[in-house]
Amino acid sequence: MDQNIRAFVGIDFAEKVKDQIHELQQKLKGYARKGRWKGRDNFHLTLKFLAQISFAQKVQIDESLQSLCRKERPLNLELKGLGVFGGKEPYRVLWLGLAGDIQDLGALHKKVDQALAPLGFPPEKRPFNPHITLGQDIVLARGFEEIQAEVGGFEFTPIHAERIHLFKSEQVRFKRIYTTIADYPLG
């Protein structure tokens, strides 16, 4: 890693879960007039956005997160519920929510925030709202609640999160690509 990279900390999903999220996303696209949709391989749960990091910071992040994650236990999560950020169209974010070990997930988020603060990454001021972004700047052909009722009832494979990841985020041929550059086992 010779130069600074754009990075974030998060939880990745198994291929089967990404396929299921993608299937739901494809249904939702059918209800949209326009929007920017996340690529199937980019579905993840963000714990902490870091912006630009240097090689020296990555080494410190690795040490800090390895130490933290050893003391944490894996999480059992499930994908549940659709929502939007931004009260009017275009919706800033169309998202998929989570259930399961949500309190433990919130505690893990806070510990990651606190562990990385001394390294130059200020704690997040907004409350943690765990979600998976499906699309951005979405304009729907019908009301969100109506679409939510029609698409509801989807079922996903449970998620057993056994590690967190440090992702590199880069623009490649006008497409955002997320790549794991480190991972840290929980427990």
CATH code of the domain in which 32 resides: 3.90.1140.10
Give per-residue pLDDT as tens, 10-34.
999 999 999 999 999 999 999 999 9
**Known catalytic residues?**
44, 131
Residues 6 or more apart from 138 whose CB is under 8 A from it? Answer: 32, 34, 35, 84, 89, 90, 91, 94
Q: How confident is the model at residue 2 (pLDDT cuts 50, 70, 90)?
A: low
Domains contained in the chain, number: 1
pLDDT, residue 154, reads 83
Examine the pLDDT at 1 and tell me if it is beyond 60. no
Range of the domain at 99: 5-185
Q: With 90 as the cut, is the pLDDT of residue 60 above it?
A: yes
Counting residues of the chain whose pLDDT is more than 90, the rounded percentage is: 83
> How much is the pTM?
0.92
User: How far apart are the C-alpha atoms of 48 and 65, rounded to whole Å?
Assistant: 12
- CA–CA distance, 138 with 36 (Å, rounded to integer): 7
pLDDT tens string 104-135: 999 999 999 999 999 999 998 999 999 999 99
Are the C-beta atoms of residues 5 and 52 closer than 8 Å to each other?
Answer: yes
Q: Is residue 42 classed exposed, middle or buried when 0-12, 13-18 and 19+ CB atoms within 10 A define those classes?
A: middle
